[in-house]
Amino acid sequence: MRSVTVVRTSTANLASVLTGLERLGCRVRTTADPREVADADRVVLPGVGAFAAAQRAIAAHGLADSLRERIDRGRPTLGICLGMQLMARGSEEAPGVPGLGVLDGVVESYEPGEEGWRVPQMGWNLVEPQDGCRIVPRGHAYFANSYRLATAPEGWLPVWCEYAGRFVAAVERGPVVGCQFHPELSGEYGRALLVRWLEA
């Protein structure tokens, strides 16, 4: 049985993430302990809500260094939705609030250029991985986001999506993955992605 540790940021809807992993037969625990995050076999950094509030929770628990270290070492880590955004240098949602900085980019707000684009993006959209991606497959994933990375960070393989312009739907570098969408809410597509990540 695979063991997965889910980081408690006090801003995440943990229920859907925990349920999705448990359905795959994982032994799941939640923690806000930096040592447990550093030592865990696999870590999920989820998130729903505000960038600043989540980053304050990470700082309050002293989790930033543990998360950066495991990502830098290439240990299996999955950032979901706001969890991926927290991996960036910062976000336009919270000017002056630093992110973890493992993705060299700033999360930007959508700037719809045509009528009909709604923000936040809520629903299913096609994601297309760049050649070389091994964990995030091509398919339709479920999104719920008002902010996104517009450019691919150096050193990461990007997965692209189109909504009010092209943006980064996911990134991967070995077993470290960030998904702007919610794999745990993406049906069979999301299940296949989680299995690939668990087996990486």
**Which residues are known to be catalytic?**
81, 182, 184
CA 69 to chain centroid? 17
DSSP class per residue in 20-72: HHHHTT-EEEEE--HHHHHH-SSEEE---S-HHHHHHHHHHTT-HHHHHHHHH
| Rounded CA Rg of the chain | 15
20: its two tokens: 């999705």
Closest CA to 68 of 99, 96, 94, 41: 99
